[in-house]
Amino acid sequence: MSGEASSKLDTVIYIVGTKRTLQLQESQVRRIIYTLITLFLVLAAVIGGQYWFFQQEQMRLDELYQRESLKNRKLQALLLEQRSESRESALALTEQEREESRQQAMLIEQQKRKLQELRSVLEQREKVVQQLQVEKRSSQLQIDTLQQHLNESKQSLSVTQADRKQLEEQLTLLNQSQSESKEAAKKAEVATNSAAPTTVSVEQLKMKFDGKTLAINFRLTNTTEEQQAGRVGVTLARPGEENTPVVYGSFRTTPFRIRRFRMITKNLRVKSPDAIVRIVAWNTERSLVMDQTYPLPGN
């Protein structure tokens, strides 16, 4: 009994110091060692877990960095493409502006030529009117002279009946010539007064002729900065009648009111293959503002 009791007893360690004596049992030392080992293992597990989480986070950040780098490269490529497209669009816009300026210069030059032609036509019409007026005065003098001769013949009774008829016929012819001269002078005067500066023009003219029917499509363009209104018509003229004055309302016309342009479409039945297409426009005051002629397709 005493041996078993002595074997179950713990070992007592005496630590003797200068100040006090400390007694430690073997079980307490073993417990402290186990506690330190446990703490070490826990600390090692915590450090290992932290390192594993750090590696996982590092991998996630690397993937995120790669995705962001890929996005940045795509954005840079998109920006470069947009810059190239903007440069191309800017170059195209510059070319378009150059083309528009060239077309405007050609249009201005064309309008100058039309004004010069209109001035020459007006001068010719003025000369015709002056000539008709001179012929009118001469005819009136001849009529007065013949009338005086007729009165003298009637008074003297020396002229025979045949001579009187001849004088009356001459007087009738002179009256007819005078009336014709008056009508021609009125037509020339109307044509002269009806002429006005060109305010519209024909552009992008397209004609399709199948032998019987002529389809016309063109753009009526305003050549001024103000709004223009009036009527426009398309008719067929015979060769040699290009300069014949056109009477307002002599054929069917289309009203227009444009600030920039308007598309006009007409269908005409052609009777003569030598006919000439004539496009005429008047303003609201019935003054002629455009008169252009074109041959039939194929002529």
CATH number at residue 214: 2.60.40.2060
User: From residue 67, how far is each of 53, 56, 63, 75, 78 by CA, in Å?
Assistant: 21, 17, 6, 12, 16
Residue bearing the bigger pLDDT, 127 or 23: 127
Q: What is the pLDDT of residue 217?
A: 92
Q: What's the pLDDT tens digit per position in 124-177?
A: 888 888 878 888 887 788 888 878 777 777 777 665 666 667 777 767 766 765
Q: Is residue 104 included in any domain, yes or no?
A: no
Which residues are CB-contacts of 89 (< 8 A; sequence separation ≥ 6)? Answer: none
Contact 218, 202 (CB under 8 A): yes
Q: How many CB atoms are located within 10 Å of the residue 129 CB?
A: 18
124 and 171 share a domain? Answer: yes
| Cα-only R_g, the chain | 56
Q: What is the pLDDT of residue 41?
A: 92
Residues 30-51, mean pLDDT to the nearest whole number: 90
Q: What is the pLDDT of residue 190?
A: 47
187 and 247 share a domain? Answer: no
244 and 279 share a domain? Answer: yes
Q: What is the pLDDT of residue 146?
A: 79
144 and 228 share a domain? Answer: no
Q: What's the pLDDT tens digit per position in 84-106?
A: 887 777 666 677 778 888 888 88
190 and 207 share a domain? Answer: no
Work out the angle at residue 229's Cα, subtended by the Cα atoms of residues 226 and 232, and round it to the nearest 5 degrees: 130
DSSP H or E run through 119: helix 26-156
Q: Is the pLDDT of residue 77 over 80?
A: yes
Token couple for 255: 């009203």
Query: Roughly what angle, to the nearest 10 degrees, separates helices 26-156 and 161-194?
Result: 160
Tally of structural domains, the chain: 2
The residue out of 194, 229, 255 marking a domain boundary is 194
Q: Is residue 230 included in any domain, yes or no?
A: yes
Domain of 162, in residue numbers = 117-194
Q: Is the pLDDT of residue 272 over 50?
A: yes
Q: What is the pLDDT of residue 185?
A: 46
Q: What's the pLDDT tens digit per position in 191-237?
A: 444 456 788 999 999 999 888 888 999 999 998 888 889 999 998 88
Residues 10-21, mean pLDDT to the nearest whole number: 46
User: From residue 38, how far is each of 24, 26, 30, 127, 152 by CA, in Å?
Assistant: 21, 18, 12, 130, 164
Residues 180-196, mean pLDDT to the nearest whole number: 50
Contact 231, 290 (CB under 8 A): no
Separation of first and last alpha carbons in the chain: 148
Q: What's the pLDDT tens digit per position in 56-75?
A: 988 988 888 888 888 888 88
Q: Is the pLDDT of residue 187 over 60?
A: no
224 and 288 share a domain? Answer: yes
